[in-house]
Amino acid sequence: MPTVTTADGVRIHYAVGGRRDGEPVLCIQGLGTDSRGWLWQRAALGRRYRVITFDNRGAGRSDAPPGPYDLDVMADDAAAVLDATGYGSAHVLGASMGGVIAQKLALRHPHRVRSLVLACTACHTDPWRQEILERWAVEAETLGPRRFLLANLDWLAAGACSRWFWSLYARLVPQPFASSAQGFVGQVHACLGAADYRPALATISAPTLVVAGKRDRLTPVDDSVLLAGLIPGAELAVIPGAGHLFPIERAATFNRTVLRFLDAQGGPRKDLPPARSLGAEGGI
């Protein structure tokens, strides 16, 4: 897995796969999650697009310097990955904290963003969510990543079946979640320290799709409605019955939703088959 070194000396690991002649899609993961969380998207999107994934600073095989981190700097990390892969611009897909980083990327480097897909994310931190994040920073240091995930499944999964799945996943699967408490806490503080940039969202001109899980407790549908309303021309799709981690829990529906949107932006090659019909509610 290659690396790029950022302006402040942090090494960021990235990977490139999928169709060599496909348009690039840059995937940005969420809080404490590394690029293995895109496993289902790499497979589905990679048949039609060139898929670029990377580990945010503080996660996976990227460096985890002492925090706190800064979401603007993490957006610059994403731009550095594009530079390293040789792409001047890409479609950008961000989930949860990665969706905030994607918004920052579109604001700081608008010429780098062909289109935006913002999944299970928000554009501001309510007091109740701030309290959760502050508690998570403490728990991550005291419990460790695996026990932390098990202790907070209700915030991440929807329904008893999903909680059972994630409980088993956390115990058995090589974990795509925070590689160190220091990295996780650094990312939490980046989220807590973000300034209110909601007024700036009106300047985003890239075609945008906002995707929400109907049963997401951490970023409820109202967050997505607000976000889609602030970005000119943004579309909104809601996945029924889905919790916060729907890119994994409801991967097939999410992937169809993303592919339909990406295909509408002009790629992929015209001789490729179209994406199948959506399994999500759409429209705002």
Distance (Å, whole) CA 284 – CA 147: 38
Instruction: Dump pLDDT digits (tens) for 244-261.
Output: 989 988 999 999 999 999
pTM (2 d.p.): 0.88
Give the pLDDT confidence score for residue 165 in this predicted structure.
55
The total number of structural domains in the chain stands at 1
Mean pLDDT value across the chain: 86
User: Mean per-residue pLDDT for 114-142?
Assistant: 91
Angle ∠(93,7,175) on CA atoms, nearest 5: 45
Q: Which amino acid is at 277?
A: S
Cis peptide leading into residue 273 (ω within 30°): no
DSSP states of 86-121: T-S-EEEEEETHHHHHHHHHHHH-GGGEEEEEEES-
Query: What is the CATH number for 114?
Result: 3.40.50.1820
Residue 273: pLDDT band with limits 50, 70, 90: very low
Instruction: Dump pLDDT digits (tens) for 10-29.
Output: 999 999 999 999 999 999 99
User: With contact defined as beta carbons under 8 Å apart, do 136 and 148 qualify?
Assistant: yes
Burial of 34 (0-12, 13-18, 19+ CB in 10 A): buried
**Which one is predicted more confidently, 149 or 267?**
149
Give the pLDDT confidence score for residue 179 in this predicted structure.
61
Instruction: Dump pLDDT digits (tens) for 159-209.
Output: 544 555 555 555 544 444 546 788 989 999 999 998 889 999 999 999 999
User: Mean per-residue pLDDT for 202-222?
Assistant: 96
Range of the domain at 218: 3-282
Phi and psi based region of residue 277 (left: phi greater than 0; alpha: psi -120 to 50; beta: remaining): beta
Q: Strand 24-28 and strand 3-5: pairing?
A: unpaired
Instruction: Dump pLDDT digits (tens) for 46-89.
Output: 999 999 999 999 999 999 999 899 999 999 999 999 999 999 99
Could you tell me how far CA 83 lies from the centroid of its own chain?
19
